[in-house]
Chains A and B, each alone.
Chain A
Amino acid sequence: MRLTIPEEEVLSSGHLACPGCGATLAMRLALKALGRDTIVVIPACCWSTIDGVFPNSALGVPVMHIAFEAAAIAASGIKAGLIAKGNTHTQVMAWAGDGGTFDIGIQALSGAAERNDDIIYVCYDNEAYQNTGIQRSSATPYGAWTTTTPRKHPKQEPKKNIADIMSAHRIPYIATATVAYPEDFVRKFKKAREIKGTRFIHVLSPCPPGWKMKEQDTVKVSRIAVKSCVFPLFEIEDGKLKINIKPSKRQDVRDYLKLQGRFSHLKEEDIKRIQQELDKNWQNLLKREEAHEG
């Protein structure tokens, strides 16, 4: 047997995640990569509930829960506290949802990034405020149904480009990752562990109840997201972009959309528009990579 990711389980079973939860698979992989010398900060999000109920916890590492908007700075505060006590080795990881990253948490994240605080900031992105019942966030993609963007008036705005925002802060490491590519996921977290400064990892986390998809499709959907270039896998290291996976034959975005009930109301012109935006964004990304290599 040759395992392609670390064997040890840090996250234990018995947690409260929905069956098939992408965010939980993501945490399982992250902790395998980072190991036990890690402290996790969780703001208000699905993971506030998933970790368990007092007096029990499912994470095998220390956790501090914190208010919704403060994940990044709470992590910075913990890191400062550790350094004050002479501990420079323990990793501090903020683990926030898209709400706590793109919206209410963006100020603290920007502040931490501008100061280049020595933390790993992970946004597990299930593309809506899932924990409070599937309300839209600025990470919700164009056309998606949520409870605040109902079928008669689905989300009109495009998904906010968080990687670009973080890139503008000139932090040492930015990466995208998703659960269908666990080796790539683990590699990125291990790499992040070795870098000093603010490291930002954006994880696409399919959510069966929120995306109205089958529980067993979580990994499949995240794979198609990469193969159709809805969610390209890339890294930006010291400002230099490197795309990790370039599908030789890009999958049609329909394959991605048809697995998710949150897109079932889309008309043909919406799907065409989505495909066009996607094509444009993908071409731009390729051009940016080329510019960095040249």
Chain B
Amino acid sequence: MKENQKLPEIVVSSGSMKINKTGSWRNLRPEIDYSKCIRCMICWKFCPDACIKINKEGIKLAPRENLKKEPAPEIDYDYCKGCGICAEECPAKCIAMLKEKK
């Protein structure tokens, strides 16, 4: 909170925690190999940090032509804590957990 911002009269939080970029917590970084990703969205389903977005434009790289236009999962690295649940649960095993560069 900014120093000159006026405190509310009561203990109430009206702002969003989105200002807290938890991506800095990461030791491991998930990388999706879109050439293998079948767009099942299981990774999106299981992320505790809601930081896998659904890219409705589709991604050019895909295992099959018809998947190129399908919505694809996209990791928001500002918030990803690197827990690895997405990699563990991915049925196509196309998410690699790589060492994060600091």
Contacts and interface: CB of A to CB of B under 8 A. Distances in A.
Instruction: Consider the complex of A and B and state whether they touch directly, i.e. have CB atoms less than 8 Å apart.
Output: yes
A56 B20 contact: yes
A13 B88 contact: no
Nearest to B27: A19
Given A17-B48, A218-B85, A219-B46, A12 B16 contact: yes
B14 interface: yes
Interface string A43-57: 000000001111111
Contacts of A5: 45
Interface string B38-52: 010100011111110
A127 to B, nearest CB: 18
A216 interface: yes
B94 interface: no
Contacts, number: 114
A219 B54 CA distance: 21
B46 A14 contact: no
Interface in A13-55: 13-17, 19-22, 24-25, 28, 51-55
A179 B88 CA distance: 14
A7 B52 CA distance: 12
B18 interface: yes
Majority secondary structure, B binding face: loop
Contacts of A217: 88
B50 A11 contact: yes
B16 A14 contact: yes
| Chain A: number of interface residues, binned into ranges | 35 or more
Contacts of B13: 52-57
Contacts of A184: none
B46 A15 contact: no
Interface string B8-33: 10011111111111100100000000
B17 A52 contact: yes
A12 B18 contact: yes
A3 B52 CA distance: 14
Given A1-B71, A54-B13, A182 B45 contact: yes
Contacts of B85: 20, 25, 215-216, 218-219
B49 to A, nearest CB: 5
Nearest to A58: B17
A1 B48 contact: no
Contacts of A216: 83-85, 87-88, 97
Contacts of B17: 12-16, 51-52, 56-58
A9 B4 CA distance: 32
Nearest to B23: A13
A220 interface: yes
Contacts of A17: 48-49
B100 interface: no
A199 to B, nearest CB: 24
A23 to B, nearest CB: 8
A4 interface: yes
Interface string A39-82: 00000000000011111111000000000000000000000000
Given A56-B15, A58-B16, A13 B50 contact: yes
15 contacts: A5-B45, A13-B50, A14-B17, A14-B19, A15-B22, A17-B48, A19-B82, A55-B1, A55-B12, A56-B17, A56-B20, A179-B46, A216-B83, A217-B88, A219-B46
Query: Ordered nearest first, which 6 A-B pairs have the shortest CB separation?
Result: A216-B84, A20-B83, A19-B83, A13-B79, A19-B81, A14-B17
Interface of A: 1, 3-5, 7, 9, 11-17, 19-22, 24-25, 28, 51-58, 179, 182, 208, 214-220
